[in-house]
Amino acid sequence: MSGPGDPAHPDSTLKPDAVRLRRAAAVALPGLALLLAGCVAEERPTGPAVNIFERYAHARAIRPNPDLWAAAGNRLDFARKRMSDPFGGVLATNWYRPKDAPGERRRVTVTILGPALEAKNLRIAVIRQVRRGGVWRNRPVSASTVAELHTTILRAARYRAAARGI
């Protein structure tokens, strides 16, 4: 059997670093092949869309009002979502910058507290920050801003419920 020191061996013309690299590849590639063999694509269910609230109706959750949930999602569709929990009734946006307020950013969290389409089941929190000297600082949000968003979502939810005949 010939070794790397033997002129007939294929590694005899390679530098020692290249020999080590070749050996490492010979060990790593079969391991990588085994690892990838375990990655089997899961089949995702296909077919008609299912209402997520009906599918998990048996689950223990708050079961937020679906009309409030849809209206809140539609109203906040301009911002990327940080969290969306339809069973806990929480919808939160990432920071976004309003077009009418440069140097400012906001984050909105909508919480739906129950299954009834009532104003008391809709809670909205808005965080506003202003950039001064390269640092973001919290600033108060006007009550009218929160009230306007609350009214808009509630009105859209009631319209949606009426359109569905509820």
- What average pLDDT does the segment 111-120 reach? 94
Please tell me whether residue 161 adopts helix, strand or coil conformation.
Answer: helix
Q: To which H or E segment does residue 67 belong?
A: helix 66-75
Domain assignment of residue 39, yes or no: no
Q: How many domains does the chain have?
A: 1
Residue 110's domain spans which residues? 61-163
The CA distance from 34 to 97, in Å, is 47
Domain assignment of residue 142, yes or no: yes
- What average pLDDT does the segment 140-150 reach? 95
- What average pLDDT does the segment 120-144 reach? 95
Percent of the chain whose predicted confidence (pLDDT) is above 70: 66
The CA distance from 82 to 93, in Å, is 5
Which of 153, 143, 74, 93 has the alpha carbon at shortest distance from 121? 153
Q: Is the pLDDT of residue 12 over 60?
A: no
Domain assignment of residue 53, yes or no: no
Burial of 108 (0-12, 13-18, 19+ CB in 10 A): buried
Between residues 165 and 115, which one has the greater pLDDT? 115
Which of 122, 125, 124, 147 has the alpha carbon at shortest distance from 67? 122
Q: Is the pLDDT of residue 126 over 80?
A: yes
Domain assignment of residue 107, yes or no: yes
Domain assignment of residue 146, yes or no: yes
Quick one: pLDDT at residue 117? 95
Domain assignment of residue 156, yes or no: yes
- CATH of residue 74's domain is 3.30.310
Tell me which residue has tokens 């033997």: 6
Give 117's DSSP letter: -
Q: Is the pLDDT of residue 24 over 90?
A: no
Domain assignment of residue 43, yes or no: no
Q: Is the pLDDT of residue 114 over 60?
A: yes
Tell me which residue has tokens 């940080």: 82
- What average pLDDT does the segment 137-153 reach? 95
The CA distance from 166 to 159, in Å, is 10
Q: What is the pTM of this model?
A: 0.62
Domain assignment of residue 40, yes or no: no
Write the CA distances from 107 to 16, 110, 138, 145, integer angstroms: 58, 10, 11, 13
